[in-house]
Amino acid sequence: MTADAKTIATTQTDNNGRFAELFLKDPSVLTEHAPQGLEWFTWLDSTSVAASDEDRLLKVVNLPRDEIVTLDVAKGHWFIQPSLCGADSLVAAGGTMDGSTVGIYRMHLDGTMATPLTRGPLDIFPVCTAGGKWLFYTDNRNGGNPQLMRLSLRTGVAQAVAVGGYSSLSPDGKLLAIS
């Protein structure tokens, strides 16, 4: 959902992986966009999203123009599940193609300066608080017992906060839902 709570977006996971937005003012209108193969996404503002595709590349999509830009993220890396982190950066699960480094990375909105925040072999589903103070992610290295972790982006210290998988923060950052 956009910050102004007027629009939501969804991906359709069929053979085409279509991206669509729904304007809450008139929910009968569903606008499909040209980008196909997008899987995970996060709103950057009311007209653009950052998304990962089936090739594990990060892209920015300008919805009014159906314009797609592939981010020039670290060569030899893959990224999925982008999430806006503060006003000026993204976090995403990712790693090196050879599998030697896997974890959660933080980068500028243009994909530059990707730096690892975690190095767990199965750290997934990153989400930041709006002010960029905390990162929540799932540490899934224990197989059937995923741990929801909270990482201070100031100190780099992580702690387990709950058993659970995917999480989502409310727009005001006060509530966290856990699956």
Write b or e for each residue in 41-77: b if 16 or more Cβ atoms lie within 10 A of its Cβ, otherwise e: bbbbeeebbbbbbeebbbbbbebeeeebeebebbeeb
Stated pTM of the model: 0.81
pLDDT digits (tens, 9 = 90+) for 11-70: 544 555 556 665 656 766 666 665 567 888 888 888 888 988 888 889 898 888 878 889
Most confident of the ranges 17-26, 99-108, 153-162, 168-177: 153-162
Q: Which fold has domain 7-131?
A: Neuraminidase (2.120.10)
